[in-house]
Amino acid sequence: MTKKTKPVVYADRRFLDRLTAAPGFTSVSASVISIIVGLILGFILLLFIDAGSSFLGMSDLLTYGISSAKSFAKVLYKAAPLMMTGLSIGFAFRTGLFNIGATGQYTIGAFFGLFAAIMWKFPWWAAILIAMLAGAVWGAIPGFFNAYFHVNEVITSIMCNWTALFLCNLIFMNTPGMWLNPSDRSRTISVVTANPSGLLPRFGLDKLLDSSYANIGIFITILIAVIVYFILEKTTFGYELKAGGYNRHASVYAGIKSKRNILFAMMIAGGLSGIGGAISYLAGTVDYTISSTSLLPMGFNGIPVALLAFSHPLGIIASSVFIGYLQVGGEAMQPEFSAEMVNVILSIIIYFSAFSLIMRGVVRKFIKRKEKKETPETPDAPVEPPVTESKGVEN
Amino acid sequence: MDNYIIEMKNITKEFPGIRANDDITLQLRKGEIHSLLGENGAGKSTLMSILFGLYTPDTGMILKNGEAVKITNPNDANALGIGMVHQHFKLVEVFTVLENIILGAEPTKSGFLTLNETRKKVIELSEKYNLHVNVDAKIEDISVGMQQRVEILKMLYRENEILIFDEPTAILTPQEIEELMQIMRNLIKEGKSILFITHKLNEIMAVSDRVTVLRKGKWMGTVNIKDTTKSELSMMMVGRKVKTIRSDKRAQSPDVILKVEHLTVANKLHKKLNAVKNVSFDVHSGEIVAIAGIEGNGQSELAYALTGLEKTISGIIHFSNVDITNSSIRDRVKLGMSHIPEDRHKYGLILDYSLEKNLVLKRYWQSDFNRHGIILKEAVRNYSDKLIEQYDIRSGQGSTTIVRSMSGGNQQKAIIAREIDFNPNLVVAVQPTRGLDIGAIEYIHTQLIKERNSGKGILLISLELEEVLALSDRILIMYNGEIVAELDPHKTTPNEMGLYMVGGNRSTPQNQEAGDLA
Ligand SMILES: Nc1ncnc2c1ncn2[C@@H]1O[C@H](COP(=O)(O)OP(=O)(O)OP(=O)(O)O)[C@@H](O)[C@H]1O
Ligand SMILES: [Mg+2]
């Protein structure tokens, strides 16, 4: 990628060169390309389902999120908890762990957030703190078993997910103060009626954006994303965590307390998801469904959020807003398209977006090829060396 | 007219910040062993990776039997009969030998694996070339020497006729090297042609027909082995005369830095047997104590136990007058123990971290490099730049180079720089010069002696008898988990050492353990 060999440098090209050489350029453009591919594939699917309304459906999907202040408020409302589970999964991933337990930690966070606000009449910030601690404890379980007993965190996390769901439902079901309606006990009572101080403050945003979905949640989560970025990239703790994620053996060799760090990493990941759960339900716009028997999807949606951003905390801010945006747009596609159909389309887009990892290789190749074209007598296009080999195979 | 099976003409390849190959031409005759010689980072592996299709050259062409060919990936290379044994193996550890050999070229009949015929073919090949490989063993259970033979078998199974060996001998014991060279001669007899990378001039002189020398990415010349000498080659390679370092004799200081008493360490594979059995020795300040032996006689486990990577079963380790038997690794580092590990990719480096981050791996927690847990970027950069300069660590982008992209020898130099520079009291150096060029070895040996002269203790664990003889003040021979002899390097001979190393003799008292138990 050096420019030494280039005979002439044109002024306009210099900008492009600088851009393509900037760190993160390949990652960002890979994500963007993946998103576009996902959108095109989603559109093709729409064509197949109902060619007539496909254009309308697509334009709803793509524009509804910014069609009004109201819908934009909803995008931010959806993005906030997504950002938290995305950060949770991304953070764990950077430290070499796969936190499939985000949904359970999120559920626990929702539970404690609601419980603290409704039963204990805690103010919102205290409820969020409690939720964070509870999420951290829930994350600590797989962390502990991984660190000290070599049990894969994925297995324990999945068990913890179901335990969290039914445990929370069970307690809610047996706590009369939590019921919205004593006759069927299917939902929790609204925070608005039970304890207004438990609601996330709106600071006039609701008036400004003309939406009850508007609250300060998104600002809290962006702040947390910045903090996570800082921890990972600027501190010795982050250095240790990432070292362990890349090469556990070498981190032990360096004297890093690897086991303790695995535990800490999972606790932090759990805490992040826990905050997400509280922020989601303390908005006061949706009640918790006590009778639900399926895992909350928010925790799983954090996976594409993290993947799309290459687990980079600042990238996760963008990717969570994007996916929140699609989700809101998807709601606008109804009733022309059924809710299930919309979900299928969304998952296609989201999961293709997560192919950004593959796209990154393609983008790199493309940049190199272009550079070669500038030096005339090149026989072939260069091929990117195999940068990521599986770590286990190497000797 | 020469009969070239492969010609690489005017090959140029650039990586960010470095021209790894600069207009290199290499011609391989049919049926010859052609060596490649050059300093660490000279571009040998890059050139061979181009021939094997891992990289595409920026300019230049490749000809096979006089015809231009295009090799854009290893499959192309394979189709042209080109096979490669990499500097760092690429085997799947949990697969068996057979599974690894067929991987990527699985024999199938209507979609199903047909293993029986293949198995027979592989066993036949193994016998024909005297490889003695057990095809059903798992990779993780066999020695590196055996793993290498698996790589060779892999090439033979694919009927490759041009075989590339990238530093095959760096990880082998002297005996294994001898056997490998015999295998290479057999391969030539069967009509194969070989490209052979090594830093050891003796090996080049012993097996090859011709040698091509590279320096900093440039072609320095191709010469016939019978028309050249070792010193001429080393001149060509580094541009100056390289000295063989020998340490002078010194009186032993009374200060003991490391004292090991009755140390026993478990064997990882066979839990019942112990890898290190009731071993006692000490290292004084200002001396280099070498532990010599054939690979697999407990030296690795001894190093792991001393440095805290493995637990001990019994015995006591005193370091700087502190009992560190159960101390954490960090505490040992704080007391001044440094460790140049045997397996640089597993322990020594975080390959996906930048060079600067690797260079502070043992020190990032010190107040020089962080304030209240926040890394001082500038301090790290300055320190890293200093080490790169001082130890001549070559890479494309200096401090910010991702270590994975560095040449093997320069990765090793980075570890050594880090481990010597933190001013330790004791350096546990396991195979410190593995994979280094002769110039770098000269430098590292000088450094180790300098450390010794300034009062440090050095425990050198090496399979290279020459290195042991040249550097050490005392030699301990390890055989079957025990120290069987203590020899004076100024009096002993390689032959005498060899006798002890294979268990044919012992001069230290028998293991007390048996007596204690009785
Ligand atoms: N994939 C890569 N990306 C960037 N730089 C690379 C890459 N591969 C090699 N280099 C650089 O090219 C130079 C030549 O490396 P190469 O591995 O060919 O050296 P070598 O002669 O095999 O050295 P050694 O004896 O240490 O193995 C080195 O400076 C290395 O840092
Ligand atoms: Mg090399």
Q: Are B47 and B35 in contact (CB under 8 A)?
A: no
Among B45, B86, B99, B361, which would you mutate to test the A interface (most chain A Cβ atoms within 10 Å of its Cβ)? Answer: B361
ipTM of predicted complex: 0.86
The overall average pLDDT reported for chain A is 84
The overall average pLDDT reported for chain B is 90
Q: What pLDDT does A389 receive?
A: 33
SS3 B292: strand
Question: Cα(B247) to centroid of ligand 2, in Å?
Answer: 29
* Average pLDDT rounded to a whole number, residues B103-111: 72
pLDDT tens, A131-179?
999 999 999 999 999 999 999 999 999 999 999 999 999 999 898 888 8
Cα torsion B499, B500, B505, B507: sign: positive
Retrieve residue B317's tokens.
Answer: 């380790």
Retrieve residue B78's tokens.
Answer: 């394979």
* Average pLDDT rounded to a whole number, residues B103-126: 78
Question: Which run of H or E residues covers position B477?
Answer: strand B474-479
Contacts of A241 (CB under 8 A, 6+ apart): A94, A95, A232, A261, A264, A265
SS3 B473: coil
Cα of B208 vs its chain's centroid, Å: 21
Is the pLDDT reported for residue A370 higher than 80?
A: no
Q: What share of chain B is helix, strand, coil (3-state, %, to 5)?
A: 35, 25, 35
Nearest to A271 by CA among A150, A91, A146, A78: A91
Q: What pLDDT does B511 receive?
A: 53
Nearest to A99 by CA among A88, A112, A110: A88
Question: Cα(B198) to centroid of ligand 2, in Å?
Answer: 9
Ligand 1, CB within 6 Å, residue ranges: A 385; B 15-16, 18, 20, 38, 40-46, 87, 394-396, 405-410
Q: Which atom of ligand 1 is nearest to the CA of B47?
A: 18
Q: CB pairs below 8 Å between A and B: how many?
A: 115
> Model-level pTM?
0.85
Distances (CA, A) of B302 to B117, B170, B274, B292, B460: 43, 21, 11, 12, 12
Q: What pLDDT does A18 receive?
A: 64
Q: What pLDDT does B514 receive?
A: 40
Retrieve residue B237's tokens.
Answer: 């390679």
Q: What pLDDT does A23 receive?
A: 64
Pick from B345, B375, B405: which is nearest to A394 by CB? B345
Q: What pLDDT does B83 receive?
A: 92
Would residue A3 count as lying in a domain? Answer: no
CB–CB contact B73 A254 (8 Å) = no
Q: Are B345 and A394 in contact (CB under 8 A)?
A: yes
**When comparing pLDDT for A391 and B428, which is higher?**
B428
Is the pLDDT reported for residue B388 higher than 90?
A: yes
pLDDT tens, A181-195?
888 788 888 888 889
Name the pLDDT band for B39 (thresholds 50, 70, 90). very high
The dihedrals phi and psi of B120, each to the nearest 5 degrees, come to -60, -45
Q: Whose CA is closest to atom 24 on ligand 1?
A: B40
Q: Are strands B474-479 and B482-487 parallel, antiparallel or unpaired?
A: antiparallel
* Average pLDDT rounded to a whole number, residues B279-286: 95
Q: Domain range spanning residue A71?
A: 51-336
Would residue A228 count as lying in a domain? Answer: yes
Retrieve residue B333's tokens.
Answer: 């580092």
Nearest to B452 by CA among B312, B236, B247: B247
Taking the C-alpha atoms of residue A104 and residue A269, their distance in angstroms, rounded to an integer, is 12
Quick count: other Cβ atoms within 10 Å of Cβ B17?
A: 14
Contacts of A150 (CB under 8 A, 6+ apart): none
Question: Cα(B406) to centroid of ligand 1, in Å?
Answer: 5
Nearest to A394 by CA among B351, B410, B340: B351
CB–CB contact B89 A394 (8 Å) = yes
Pick from B307, B362, B365: which is nearest to A236 by CB? B365
Overall domain count for chain A: 1
Q: Which residue has the tokens 């004791």?
A: B426
Pick from B309, B351, B364: which is nearest to A239 by CB? B364
pLDDT tens, B195-233?
999 999 999 999 999 999 999 999 999 999 999 999 899
Would residue A369 count as lying in a domain? Answer: no
Cα torsion A173, A177, A180, A183: sign: positive
Q: What pLDDT does B35 receive?
A: 96
Is the pLDDT reported for residue B276 higher than 70?
A: yes
Taking the C-alpha atoms of residue B127 and residue A160, their distance in angstroms, rounded to an integer, is 54
Q: Which residue has the tokens 């190749």?
A: A365
Would residue A24 count as lying in a domain? Answer: no
Residue A372 touches chain B, beta carbons under 8 Å: yes
Residue A395 touches chain B, beta carbons under 8 Å: yes
Is the pLDDT reported for residue B22 higher than 90?
A: yes
**In chain B, what's the furthest Cα-to-Cα distance?**
76
SS (H, E, C) B98-118: HHHHHCCCCCEECCEECHHHH
pLDDT tens, B339-372?
999 988 899 999 999 999 999 999 999 999 999 9
Question: Cα(B9) to centroid of ligand 1, in Å?
Answer: 19
CB–CB contact B57 A246 (8 Å) = no
Q: What pLDDT does B510 receive?
A: 60
Would residue A350 count as lying in a domain? Answer: no
Retrieve residue A123's tokens.
Answer: 């103010």
Q: What pLDDT does B516 receive?
A: 40
Would residue A46 count as lying in a domain? Answer: no
Interhelix angle A298-308/A258-281, nearest 10 degrees: 120
Taking the C-alpha atoms of residue A243 and residue A148, their distance in angstroms, rounded to an integer, is 19
DSSP H helical ranges for B278-407: 299-307, 329-334, 355-359, 377-391
Q: What pLDDT does A39 receive?
A: 83
DSSP H helical ranges for chain A: 11-21, 25-67, 69-94, 102-118, 124-149, 153-173, 191-194, 205-209, 217-234, 236-246, 248-253, 258-281, 298-308, 313-332, 339-353, 356-374
Taking the C-alpha atoms of residue B21 and residue B219, their distance in angstroms, rounded to an integer, is 9
**When comparing pLDDT for A110 and B115, which is higher?**
A110
Pick from A242, A379, A389: which is nearest to B59 by CB? A379
Is the pLDDT reported for residue B90 higher than 80?
A: no
Retrieve residue A247's tokens.
Answer: 């090469």
CATH code of the domain containing A286: 1.10.3470
**When comparing pLDDT for A56 and A151, which is higher?**
A151
Taking the C-alpha atoms of residue B12 and residue A375, their distance in angstroms, rounded to an integer, is 13
Q: Are strands B426-430 and B337-340 parallel, antiparallel or unpaired?
A: parallel
CB–CB contact A257 B58 (8 Å) = no
Would residue A107 count as lying in a domain? Answer: yes
With a pLDDT cut of 70, the percent of chain B lying above it is 96
Name the pLDDT band for A378 (thresholds 50, 70, 90). very low
Q: What pLDDT does A383 receive?
A: 35
Question: Cα(B167) to centroid of ligand 2, in Å?
Answer: 7
> If contacts are CB pairs under 8 Å, which of residues 295-334 in chain B contact chain A?
307, 309, 328-330, 332-333
Q: What pLDDT does B487 receive?
A: 94
Q: Are strands B193-197 and B33-38 parallel, antiparallel or unpaired?
A: parallel
Taking the C-alpha atoms of residue B202 and residue B224, their distance in angstroms, rounded to an integer, is 15
Q: Are strands B474-479 and B287-292 parallel, antiparallel or unpaired?
A: parallel
CB–CB contact B61 A379 (8 Å) = yes
> If contacts are CB pairs under 8 Å, which of residues 427-466 in chain B contact chain A?
none
pLDDT tens, B140-175?
777 778 888 898 888 888 889 999 999 988 878 777
Would residue A40 count as lying in a domain? Answer: no
CB–CB contact A372 B343 (8 Å) = no
* Average pLDDT rounded to a whole number, residues A257-281: 96
